[in-house]
């Protein structure tokens, strides 16, 4: 038995060591990666469900790693949130997003808005509102062009910090989207304490929504609450026609997901803006 335990711990140690090594490598590389433009902004479209009109996009970061290829943000963002680098990376994404919006405006496209993610770590940056304002102003854009997605779990972790940040951002006119809505335990309390603009339904909700009648009921109630509070609702992770039909039925405003399109480079998104081929 002792031998077996030793073996078990050996395996565990190896996995830990590998993870630490990976974290160390990534940490060593991240600053150079940023300055040598290895990070890229991808855009995923959002559609208005009542008529299928393109209504905006979400900016999602990708790491085009010279040796490892494209890395998913789920592999490096948690580490960047731990070591603080996410604040730099997010600022890069916000800047790139505004630069693209400026380019499109210059080319005469209708003024879409592109939502960006604001990490839980950014919320602690005392300069957050200032940085965001400077970024949109640098490109001569109105603040409403850059809606901010803040994850619900950030609220759960530190309600007072989020309340303060959201209040000062709202004062400047930024639109606030609550990301992953319904994934935590304090969703209703949060609605009571924050003045939001948009609820972004957590993907898991859409998943179970089609299978469980109970989720269908909860979703209907969320829609009703959103209605009385003047909030618009976005469903993310829409993958099937059935999910889309249910969402239309309950009056969900916008949809985003693989059913419509995967996140894509900005140039590809521009083609999409020109309309159906
Ligand atoms: P999120 O903000 O909840 O973004 C939605 C994620 O779902 C994206 O994953 C998107 O590609 C994926 N997705 C979209 N439609 C579908 C679908 O129909 N089915 C499925 N299964 N997935 C779908 P991605 O790009 O890998 O990003 C993962 C997470 O990493 C994001 O979750 C967000 O929390 C974080 N993230 C991504 N880019 C940034 C960024 O620039 N800054 C910060 N702070 N976080 C980011
Ligand atoms: Ca998001
Ligand atoms: Ca989300
Ligand atoms: Ca998420």
Mean pLDDT of the chain: 92
Q: What is the pLDDT of residue 231?
A: 97
Q: From ligand 1's centre to the CA of 14, what distance in Å?
A: 29
pLDDT digits (tens, 9 = 90+) for 233-272: 999 999 999 999 999 999 999 999 999 999 999 999 999 9
pLDDT digits (tens, 9 = 90+) for 199-221: 999 998 888 755 677 778 888 99
46, 57, 73, 241: residue to mutate for ligand 1 pocket, most atoms within 8 A of CB: 73
Which residue's alpha carbon is at the smallest distance from atom 35 of ligand 1?
Answer: 73
Instruction: Classify residue 182 as left (phi > 0), alpha (psi -120 to 50) or beta.
Output: left
Count how many residues are written for the chain: 277
Nearest CA-CA partner of 76 in 35, 23, 38: 23
pTM of the model: 0.94
Ligand 1 atom nearest to CA at 238 = 18
* Position 1 confidence tier, pLDDT thresholds 50, 70, 90: low
Residues lining ligand 2 (ion), CB within 5 A? 117, 149, 179
**Residue linked to tokens 């592109």:** 114
Q: Is the dihedral of CA 266, 135, 121, 156 positive or negative?
A: negative
Task: Report whether residue 239 contacts ligand 1, using a CB cutoff of 6 Å.
Answer: yes
pLDDT digits (tens, 9 = 90+) for 127-142: 999 999 999 999 999 9
Task: Report whether residue 93 contacts ligand 1, using a CB cutoff of 6 Å.
Answer: yes
Task: Report whether residue 119 contacts ligand 1, using a CB cutoff of 6 Å.
Answer: yes
Task: Report whether residue 91 contacts ligand 1, using a CB cutoff of 6 Å.
Answer: no
Q: What is the ipTM of this complex?
A: 0.97
**Residue linked to tokens 């409403």:** 144
Q: From ligand 3's centre to the CA of 149, what distance in Å?
A: 8
Ligand 1 atom nearest to CA at 202 = 3
Task: Report whether residue 49 contacts ligand 1, using a CB cutoff of 6 Å.
Answer: no
Nearest CA-CA partner of 264 in 36, 54, 53: 54
Task: Report whether residue 97 contacts ligand 1, using a CB cutoff of 6 Å.
Answer: no
Q: From ligand 1's centre to the CA of 193, what distance in Å?
A: 26
Which residue's alpha carbon is at the smallest distance from atom 22 of ligand 1?
Answer: 237
* Position 188 confidence tier, pLDDT thresholds 50, 70, 90: confident
Task: Report whether residue 73 contacts ligand 1, using a CB cutoff of 6 Å.
Answer: yes
Which residue's alpha carbon is at the smallest distance from atom 37 of ligand 1?
Answer: 60
Nearest CA-CA partner of 86 in 78, 75, 94: 78
Task: Report whether residue 117 contacts ligand 1, using a CB cutoff of 6 Å.
Answer: yes
* Position 57 confidence tier, pLDDT thresholds 50, 70, 90: very high
């Amino acid at each position: 038995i002792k031998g077996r335990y030793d073996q078990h711990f050996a395996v565990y140690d190896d996995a830990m060591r590998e993870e630490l090594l990976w974290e160390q490598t990534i940490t060593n590389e991240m600053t150079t990666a940023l300055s040598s433009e290895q990070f890229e902004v991808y855009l995923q479209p959002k559609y208005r469900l009542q008529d299928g009109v393109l209504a905006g996009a979400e900016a999602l970061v990708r790491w085009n790693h010279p040796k490892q290829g494209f890395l998913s943000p789920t592999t490096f963002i948690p580490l960047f949130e731990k070591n603080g680098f996410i604040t730099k990376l997010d600022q890069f994404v916000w800047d790139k997003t505004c630069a693209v919006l400026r380019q499109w405006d210059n080319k005469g496209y209708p003024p879409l808005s592109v939502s960006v993610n604001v990490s839980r770590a950014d919320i602690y940056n005392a300069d957050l509102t200032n940085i965001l304002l400077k970024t949109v102003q640098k490109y001569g854009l109105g603040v409403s062009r850059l809606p901010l997605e803040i994850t619900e779990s950030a609220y759960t972790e530190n309600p007072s910090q989020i309340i303060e940040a959201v209040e000062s951002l709202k004062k400047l006119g930024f639109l606030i989207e609550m990301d992953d809505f319904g994934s935590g335990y304090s969703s209703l309390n949060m609605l009571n304490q924050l003045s939001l603009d948009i609820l972004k339904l957590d993907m898991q909700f859409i998943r179970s929504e089609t299978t469980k009648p109970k989720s269908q009921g909860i979703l209907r109630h969320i829609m009703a609450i959103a209605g009385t509070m003047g909030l618009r609702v976005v469903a993310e992770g829409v993958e099937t026609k059935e999910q889309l039909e249910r969402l239309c039925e309950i009056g969900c405003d916008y949809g985003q997901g693989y059913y419509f399109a995967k996140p894509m480079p900005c140039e590809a998104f521009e083609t999409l803006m020109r309309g159906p081929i």
